[in-house]
Amino acid sequence: MKKITIITSLIIIGFSYPLQAQFTQIELFSGFDKTDFTLFSGYSINKSQTLSLNTLAFFQKFKTQNQEFDEVGVQPTLFWNITKSFALGPSIYYNSFAGYSERLSAKFTFKDSRGLFVLIPTVAHSEQTNASYAEVFLQIQYNKPLNDNLSLWLNGQFLTIWDSFKMHSRSYQQFRIGLSFYDHQVGIGLDFDQYGLKPIEKTSFGMYYRITI
């Protein structure tokens, strides 16, 4: 209950300030035996834009090797934007498998009109296992305009988590290619999911729809 209160408070604090440079991205991926819904939002919470609140929420449902995996995650992160490309901040993460964890992340961002590169290394402590773990997240995006309103988009997202900084716990690789019309993006996707020390693996192919608000 305490952690839920903290998560809620962080989100309320963010909304209590005038929104600066706000964006929200929603994606729905649907493939064979897998459904993935992801929401990511971010905005500055002060006029100087040195503080920003990023919120990630997702739901995944899929079957593999006669096992069902329903995973839910919520993570608000308060970033201090030290430079245009580098930010540092704490977060509280809830995962339906792993429980609560306290985290500290660094974010490196490089972008221009065609591409985006985001690297987020994280160190964290899990309350469920009372142990530390490390995580690395990488996002790459590239777009090529085809005309004034239509563009081709390539997206890749990669995550790896190591329990006690050495044992594989969770990883995924997600690839997307699609066409974007204004703020709407539609295309095909390929996901590779791995769970555990001796990974249970799942490959999913399907369609995705993404909107940026």
- The pLDDT of residue 200 is 82
Let me know the angle formed at the C-alpha of 86 by 194 and 54, rounded to the nearest 5 degrees. Answer: 60
Block residue for tokens 């081709």: 152
- Please state the φ and ψ torsions of residue 89, each to the nearest 5 degrees: -175, 160
- The pLDDT of residue 189 is 96
Q: pTM for the full model?
A: 0.85
* Residue 4 CB neighbour total at 10 angstroms: 12
For the record, the structure tokens of 146 come out as: 């085809």
Q: How far is CA 151 from CA 7, 61, 101, 147, 154, in A?
A: 37, 30, 39, 7, 10
Let me know the angle formed at the C-alpha of 102 by 63 and 134, rounded to the nearest 5 degrees. Answer: 65
- Please state the φ and ψ torsions of residue 129, each to the nearest 5 degrees: -100, -10
CATH number of the domain at 2-212, out of 2.60.120.680, 2.40.420.20, 2.40.160.40, 3.30.1120.130? 2.40.160.40
What residue segments make up the domains of the chain, in order of their start?
2-212
* Residue 12 CB neighbour total at 10 angstroms: 9
Dist CA 161 CA 167 (whole Å): 8
Q: Which alpha helices (H) appear in the chain, and where do they start and end?
A: 2-15
Bridge partners of 122, per DSSP, are 105, 135
- Cα-Cα end-to-end distance for the chain: 31
Q: What is the pLDDT along the chain (213 residues), one digit of tens a residue?
A: 444 444 444 444 444 444 454 788 999 999 878 899 999 998 888 888 899 999 999 998 877 666 777 889 999 999 999 999 999 999 999 988 889 999 999 999 999 989 999 999 999 999 998 999 999 999 999 999 999 889 999 999 999 999 999 899 999 999 999 999 988 999 999 999 898 888 888 889 999 999 988
- Please state the φ and ψ torsions of residue 85, each to the nearest 5 degrees: -110, -10
Q: What is the Cβ-side half-sphere exposure of residue 133, based on CA atoms within 13 angstroms?
A: 21
- The pLDDT of residue 64 is 67
For the record, the structure tokens of 21 come out as: 């440079």
